[in-house]
Amino acid sequence: MMNLLLAVSILVFIYLVYVLLKPEKF
């Protein structure tokens, strides 16, 4: 459970960083 939650948190963090670095996508 904890590992899955950690993995999801990391994926969300990476996604947010990607969005912040590539605002042109929107």
pLDDT digits (tens, 9 = 90+) for 1-26: 789 999 999 999 999 999 899 877 55
If one counts the domains in the chain, the total is: 1
> Which residues neighbour 26 within 8 Å (Cβ) at sequence distance 6 or greater?
19
Q: What range defines the domain where residue 20 resides?
A: 1-26
User: 10 to each of 14, 16, 24, how far by Cα in Å?
Assistant: 6, 10, 23
Please tell me the predicted confidence (pLDDT) of residue 26: 56
The pLDDT score that the predictor gives to residue 13 is 97
What is the pTM (predicted TM-score) of this model?
A: 0.59
